[in-house]
Structure 1
Amino acid sequence: MSRFVVLTWHSIHVLDNDYSGNDPVAFREDLRLLDRLGWRILPLSLALELLDRGELPDKVAVLTVDDGSILDFEDFDHPSCGRQTSLYNALRAFDADPTRSAHHRPHLTSFVIASPAAREELDRNDYMSLGVWPDHWWRQANESGLISVESHSWDHNHASLARTAQRDNRRGDFRWIDTEAECRQEIDAASDYIEACAGRRPRYFAYPYGQSSDYLRREYLPKEAARLGLEAALGCDPEPVTRASDRWFLPRYMCGRDWHSSEELEALLATV
């Protein structure tokens, strides 16, 4: 059966400079592993198109990153871990490396939190006001050809925020987004803001925490997708994408949950 894997990282995860505590480090090493093992890196849009046409080659991997921190695109001076290479710059170096396989179409899908107020509050509450969640890079990223900016909701219904779009202010679980009004704020408003800042309307949505209410997944998105310009949504169930996968809850594997080292990723990929 035709299938591909979607892998995801969180560039904000920088605890030290070792693989298990540093997703930018893991991302760089994982690019080399995928190349060495004969996997083909393709953009999400192309992988889905080839899957639908029945023309998907074997061993295809799609690269994604959640939350939209500055380290998705720009190098960053971390206060305790030093200079960190962004995922974009790691991918650009990989793309330019003449020793890599020629069959890749290097590309990274970045799912960003839209609300500037939410990002500022998260930066202040959880990241010592280091300025890790700006949006000035979104348009340049979309124009780069190597990274696209997509939607990770308006405010993530994040537990660290004082107030979110959830009607009862129940935070920390995206399954509580289950009314039309909440979906319009979390999905529609996010797409509108991202389009205005990034110069392109999102085509894909990633559920915060990998969670979705039945209403959002089975009613709102299928009904409103054409109006919103959305083509698919991604959860975090650890399995490959096939033609039987729910287009509004595509599965993904997550660094730090489903693998913690290059050896574990290699073992995981051997089971797909």
Structure 2
Amino acid sequence: MGRLDGKVVVLSAAAQGIGKSTALAFAREGAQVIATDINGEKLKELDGTPGIETRVVDVTKQADIEALVSSLDKLDVLFNCAGFVHHGTILDCKEEEWDFAFNLNVKSMFLMCKAVIPKMQAGGGGSIINMSSVASSIKGAPVRFVYGATKAAVIGLTKSIAADFAAQGIRCNAICPGTVDTPSLRDRLRALGDEEEVLKTFVARQKMGRLGTAEEIAALCVYLASDESCYTTGTECVIDGGWSV
């Protein structure tokens, strides 16, 4: 028996990194996984995986979200993983970057949660997992101004949903990773200069002396999606190797 047998799961940003690892982990535990991403070509790498159905969805577009949710007979778990990391302080942040970050990192979660909660109410409950971050939302992080602001907003969104729907069996939790070795991180390292040298500075701030892995974050997501966490809601689940301690 898998830990997620019989559960229907939707997640965003499933084409790579944490989203992809989590989609695979959900499927291994018996869930019926609808893995979405805006990058259709990259998403095809999951095609043919037992338990996973892929769909191209832009989570910033309400019509895409409503079409997805209306096509499902039931929905037990939502993992909002889509997001973008901007580099810079408030002085570097342009208004259009602020708008882009909040649209993708926060508004997409608002739209997804609003669409799926009625489906979860009809089914007697569910679990929503929102991607936040240790950076700035838990611990002040340099040159992460707008990213940190969005991830702090995610925690507020999460707690509000948890408070409003706990009595209906709908749980909502945020996960707050530290630095995780993913393709998107590697892209950011290359953008900052010498990838290996910049990587050393990221590793140096980790108390465990290493970065996290996507698979480690996925394991936490499986727990929060499963009935094992049925008494857990409204939390910020920090998984950062001790960076914030």
> Which bracket does the TM-score occupy, shorter chain normalised?
0.3 to 0.5
TM-score, normalised by the number of residues in structure 1: 0.36
TM-score, normalised by the number of residues in structure 2: 0.39
Name whichever structure is richer in helix by fraction.
2
